[in-house]
Structure 1
Amino acid sequence: MRIALSVLFLATQVTANAAFAQTAAEREACQSDYEKFCKGVEQGGGRIIKCLNDHLSDLTPQCQKVVKENTPQ
């Protein structure tokens, strides 16, 4: 039981850290890149940040910075 609770806690922490574009500035920095490269990607589970990370070299410098700061290591 203790192990299960530990795993659940870790999973929620990873999910919380993977949340993308928590601020208006972050959303604004990546909005056009999101619409260009990831418009059809379903939100949640880190799918948007993964999509943007997959296109990292194509993103604007501002969005690249946001993606790098929000991509789990």
Structure 2
Amino acid sequence: MRIALSVLFLATQMATTAALAQTASEREACEADYKKFCSGVQQGGGRVIKCLSDHMSELTPECQKVVKANTPG
């Protein structure tokens, strides 16, 4: 039982670390664009991605990739 819990804990930690790394890289790619175009937008509910997508042609190529990857449809 103790080994099973340890394995489950390690698997959870690895999955969380991968998710945080992706989020951090996405934030880094769009940080300057966010500050320039969307700093007044309240975070949550997809509002930041919506704001960035409204400025798609003005975004850096790296941030455009992030926005496209996180925009439904």
Q: Which residue of 1 aligns with 2:61?
A: 61
Deviations 1:40-65 (A, max 9, x none): 00111100000000000000000000
Between Structure 1 and Structure 2, the one with more helix by share is 2
Matched, 1:23 2:23: yes
Which 5+ residue runs of structure 1 have no aligned equivalent? 1-21
Decide which structure has the larger Cα Rg and report it. 2
TM-score by length of 2: 0.69
Letter of the aligned partner of 1:28 in structure 2?
A: E
Q: How big is the alpha-carbon RMSD for the aligned residues of Structure 1 and Structure 2?
A: 0.8
Once residues 41 and 63 of structure 2 are traced to their aligned partners in structure 1, the CA distance between those partners, rounded to angstroms, is 17
Q: Unmatched 5+ residue regions in structure 2?
A: 1-21
**Structure possessing the higher relative contact order (Cα contacts under 8 Å, 6 or more residues apart):** 1
How far the C-alpha of 1:32 sits from its partner, in A, is: 0.2
Q: How many residues align?
A: 52
Runs of 4+ that moved beyond 2 A: none
